[in-house]
Structure 1
Amino acid sequence: MAERLKRAYSPSEVEGLKRKKLEFSGEWGRVFGEPEMCGVWFVWGASGNGKTSFVMQLCKELARFGKVVYDSLEEGVSQSMVNTIKRHGMTDVNRRFTLLDGEKIEDLEKRMSRPRSAQFWVIDSFQYTGFNASQYLDFVERHSKKLIIFVSQADGNKPKGRTAEGAMYDATQKIHIKGFRAYNNGRSGEIGDYFTIYTEGARKYWGDQRKEVDNEESNELNN
């Protein structure tokens, strides 16, 4: 049997396509706009820069729109993760947020494939999935109607590892965490816009060189 080709669209059909969007407001809307409720987001940054805190804040925001599942592959349900859950008041979204204790990808996929399963899936961290480039592409294709958020370790200002870097370029939202700021380097919003994760931490990190460093960061994101 011949392989079935995907449908081709005319420009008017493309414009007429209806897409479910996340109607972010406030700082979320300013930095990330109104992204689609499906696709891939990729978040990366060095340890100690507020990465986990940002992702937890994001989960809490996403819980306004549907159920969120966080697969903590790297930390599991460690004391550090427990502290993060408490610090961000995740019990406020108790019925819409679920934390998995390092569930393997094959078992996670079973959850994702269930009828009426959650819309939002966080996988932390990418390096613990064991994906190569082909496995990554197959995984996101199988779950293309979900919003999958990969959290990645960093090597300098880039994601750690060739496969992770490729996944970052593939993502619809690319979010670099640095100095308690989440920089939007994705396909919506203005490049260089940032979301402040922790005000005091950001102030201490960037200090008096704020304007100069922000310009440097913006240049990095454009390269």
Structure 2
Amino acid sequence: MKKSNRAYSVSNVVTKKFKPLSFEGAWKDTLGTPDKAFSAILFGGTSNGKTEAAMKLAKYLTNFGKVDYDSLEQGVSATIRDALIRNNMESCENTFRLLDRVPFEELINRMSKPKSADFLFVDSVQYTRINKAQYYQLKELMLAKGKGIIWISQAKGKLPKGSLADDIMFDVDLKLWVEGFKLFPDGRLNGGGEPLVIWPERAAKYWNEIY
């Protein structure tokens, strides 16, 4: 069995090839140009636009590869259906798949396949029923395959809810707080940093501003 290389010289690191995503427009202003194998946690309170933000990001990522969205919390529900319709997800029919409550072991098997999706959304952390070791198992798999993973989390106050979500927040590249239908980025940003309006009409009402 071939061992993976864990020790690199400075020149090895300097010359290592990464795959930055060529984001443009509002997404570049917000997230910069993350590496394809980026990790993120998107979190916020109830009815603040988490699902809408996740769908918009998922749709944008279909420009760079295939996307799987594991709907653990809501499954194939009316709410998810409405989000798909609002965001015209039929336009990316061949690059987006909604997974209906696919459990952890099945998800590992799915993402291990040669032609698995390039990006995975897990919605939500609180419904995964996994521990920290399993989180790292999925993380290492995605890194090894050069794939991106986005965790969606409920919030308690302005922090992800629960110990696992808290651990994920400190581990991922991007922290994406959603409040009042605006997304506020933080973390290891390669550029970006500007808030992104997710739903102009609702954001305007919440923030008492015009968009």
TM-score (norm 2): 0.92
SS of the aligned residue for 1:43 comes to strand
Q: Is the 8 A contact 2:29 2:193 kept in 1?
A: no
| Alpha-carbon distance in 2 for matches of 1:191, 1:113 | 31
Matches within 5 A, 1:6-17: 6-17=5-16
SS of the aligned residue for 2:121 comes to strand
Residue 181 of structure 2 aligns with an amino acid whose one-letter code is: F
Partner residue in 2 for 1:183:
184
Partner residue in 1 for 2:78:
79
Shift of 1:152: 0.4
Partner residue in 2 for 1:120:
119
SS of the aligned residue for 1:118 comes to coil
Residue 182 of structure 2 aligns with an amino acid whose one-letter code is: R
Partner residue in 2 for 1:207:
208
Tell me the percent identity: 41
Matches within 5 A, 1:69-108: 69-108=68-107
Shift of 1:50: 0.8
Q: Is the 8 A contact 1:184 1:190 kept in 2?
A: no
Runs (5+) with no aligned partner, structure 2: none
- State the structure with bigger RCO (CA 8 A, min sep 6), 1 or 2: 2
Partner residue in 1 for 2:163:
162
| CA deviation string 1:98-129 (max 9, x = no partner) | 00111111111111011121110111001111
90-99 or 110-119, which moves further after superposition?
Answer: 110-119
Q: Is the 8 A contact 2:104 2:130 kept in 1?
A: no
184-193 or 47-56, which moves further after superposition?
Answer: 184-193
Work out which of the two has the higher radius of gyration on C-alpha atoms and give 1 or 2: 1
TM-score (norm 1): 0.87
Q: Is the 8 A contact 2:41 2:172 kept in 1?
A: yes
Q: Is the 8 A contact 2:21 2:36 kept in 1?
A: yes
The aligned length equals 207
Shift of 1:24: 0.4
Show structure 1 runs of 4+ deviating over 4 A.
189-192
SS of the aligned residue for 1:167 comes to helix
Change in 2 beyond 3 A, CA 1:192/1:67? closer
